[in-house]
Structure formats: structure tokens, C-alpha cells
Amino acid sequence: MYEVTLSNVDYSYSDHRVLQGITFTAEAGDFVCLLGPSGCGKSTLLRLLAGLSFPSSGDITLDGKRITGPGLDRGVVFQDYSLFPWMTAGQNIVLTLEQAFPGKNKEEYRQAAADYLEMVGLAGAYGKLPGLLSGGMRQRAAIARAFAINAPVLLMDEPFGALDAITRARLQDLLLQLWQQREGERKTVFFVTHDVEEAILLANRIIVLGLNPGTVKGIFEVDLPRPRVRQELYKTEAFAALRDRLVTVLHENILSELDGGQTVRSDGEGI
């Protein structure tokens, strides 16, 4: 629900320029995908938004206010390590709730955590340790946790990157469904991915990042109607056209941008 603006954001890490001149605005309730090849700094950009790192220069503002560190106004889902493995799925969410809404009694927290787990289809997993859950279930629990704090901004760093195709599709649908639920108070989402189709399926707006240093190579509005149904979406010409444009932008200059000696396979793997 917050507007997020980045103006001229640079980020360097020990003489290596990771991000350069990143400028864009995400409107309140936008679903923004950060799309780019590995190493383009898209995860770094998400860390800046999370307040885990700070730009070397330039400004990032949330709802007009500069980011000074991590905060509970942003829910974060990582690819791994979102949940603490020594706490059960339920305890993980309770800990988050205790931070976001202090001063309630134990039973209220417990009940709320159980409700959020049920919301993502994990009704029976309250007492299960993350190590006993599948990768997909773990990410469901992580999403439940991110929604539990009811933050206006949601940051997701390749949350489905380690999942198999079917589980990934299910979780994409779940995420869209949760995000769309309450129109008018939709969270502003930043979703990092290197998967073009995932980006089109989810996003209102796709920001394509290039390599060395990470710069914005293009911003694409995705005005495909919602709710989007995967099978139908994939058949439309609009989808195909956008996909081709994105692939072209992603791949242009890719060979010159890469350091020498790397192999690029036909499907773009290994970039």
C-alpha cells in the first residue's frame, strides 16, 4: 500500500559496482517483478529495500520516508532460511506476531498463527519443524509469516526458485490469490526472479536489470487482465509478444556484458 521510489541508487561492494543509477517508482499496490540474469544485483536491490544494506548513493523512500533499516512495514520472504529451523512452523509465525503486535496473550498469538497457516493450506503443520516440511510447504509457511505482520510492502527474493515446476505454479497462484484478496489495500510487492514467464504471470510492472553493473534496462507495464489464469494466459498473443520482448531485452548485449570464458547455452541457462 506504500509508494516506493528509488532515485539514482548506486551500490558498490569493495570496489565492485553492483548497482548503478537505479531509478523507478512503484505505486501503492503495485506488483513489481525485478527480472534479470544471475549476478545483475536484483537480490542486492531487494536487500536495499529490506534495509539489510544501504545504498552507496541515491535515495530509497517508502511512503515518502527514507529507509533507515529493517522494519515490520515490510514482510520478507527469502529463497531459503526464511524460517528458523529450531522453531515449529507455528512458533515461527508466533515470534513474528509478537514483534508486530506486542502485548497480546499467548492464546491469541497461537490462534492467529494457526489461522495464517490455514490460509496458505498448512492447517496441520503448526507443530512441525521446518526440517520435516517439503520445500513448497516451507515457502507456504514463509508466505504465511510475511502476511501475518500485515505489512504494506512485501519483498520476495526468488521465493520459488528452488521448487519443482508444479509446486512453483501452485505457490504462484496462492501468492496472487492472497495479494488480490482485498482490492484497494493490496500490498506493494517486489518479487525477484529470473523466470520471464513467472514475471509476466505475477507482475503489473517488470523491471529488467542488466549486468555489470546492474542498471535498469527497461520497465515494462503488464496490462494483462486479472485474475490471470495460467493456461489461458499462455495462449494469448499479448503474453507471447511480451515474453519475446522481455527475452530480447534480457539477451541483448549479454555476450559483451559477460566476462570472457563463460558458456551460454541455447536456452539461456548458465548466464
Partner 1 sequence: MKKIANISNLLFIALLTALFWPSTGRQIPWHILLVAVVIKAVVQIRQATSKNNEARQGAVDVSAIIFAALLAWYLATTRFVLLDTMLFPQPEAVLALFVTELPTMLKGLVNSLILLVSGYLLALAIALPLGLLVGWRARLFHAINPFTKVLGPIPPIVYIPYAIALLPTFRAASIFVIFIGAFWPIFINTVHGVFNIPKGLLDSARVLNLKERTLLARVILPGAMPSICTGATLALVLAFILLAAAELIGANSGIGWYVKNFADYADYQRVIVGIIFISIVVMTITWGTERLERHLLRWRN
* Residue from the set 1, 28, 112, 129 that interacts with partner 1 by CB under 8 A: 129
Which residues ranging from 62 to 121 are in contact with partner 1 (CB under 8 A)? 69-72, 74, 76, 78, 80-87, 95-96, 99
Q: How many residues does the chain have?
A: 271
Identity (one letter) of the amino acid at 94? V
Provide the 10 A C-beta neighbour count for residue 187: 24
Q: In terms of CB distance, is 49 or 211 closer to partner 1?
A: 49
Minimal distance, residue 240 CB to partner 1, in Å: 36
Provide the minimum distance between the beta carbon of 162 and partner 1 in the complex, in angstroms, as a whole number.
12
Of the CA atoms within 13 Å of residue 100, those in its CB half-sphere come to 21
**Which residues make beta-bridge pairs with 225?**
none
Bond into 85 cis (ω within 30): no
33, 35, 50, 208: residue in contact with partner 1 (rule CB under 8 A): 50
| Residue 125 found at the interface with partner 1 (CB under 8 A) | no
Q: Binding to partner 1 by residue 51, rule CB under 8 A?
A: yes
127: contact with partner 1 by CB under 8 A: no
Nearer to partner 1, 13 or 81 (CB): 81
* Distance of alpha carbon 201 from alpha carbon 229, whole angstroms: 8
Residues in CB range of 220: below 8 A, 6 or more apart: 205, 206, 207, 208, 242, 245, 246
What's the min distance (Å) between Cβ of 257 and partner 1?
27
- φ, ψ of residue 42 to 5 degrees: the values are -70, -35
Contacts of 112 (CB under 8 A, 6+ apart): 93, 97, 148
Give me the least distance between CB of 155 and partner 1, in Å please: 8
**Complex with partner 1: residue 192 or 206, whichever CB lies closer:** 192
Contact pattern for partner 1 over residues 3 through 22, marking x by CB under 8 A? --------------------
| Binding region for partner 1 (CB under 8 A) out of 2-10, 124-132, 158-166, 185-193 | 124-132
Q: How far is the CB of 90 from partner 1 (least distance, A)?
A: 14
Minimum Å gap between C-beta 73 and partner 1 is 10
Of the pair 45, 249, the CB lying nearest partner 1 is at 45
181-186 long-range contacts, CB within 8 A, separation 24+: 184/29, 185/1, 185/29, 186/1, 186/29, 186/31
Reading the block at residue 83, the C-alpha cell is: 524460517
Q: Which residues are at the interface with partner 1 (CB under 8 A)?
A: 47, 50-52, 69-72, 74, 76, 78, 80-87, 95-96, 99, 129-132
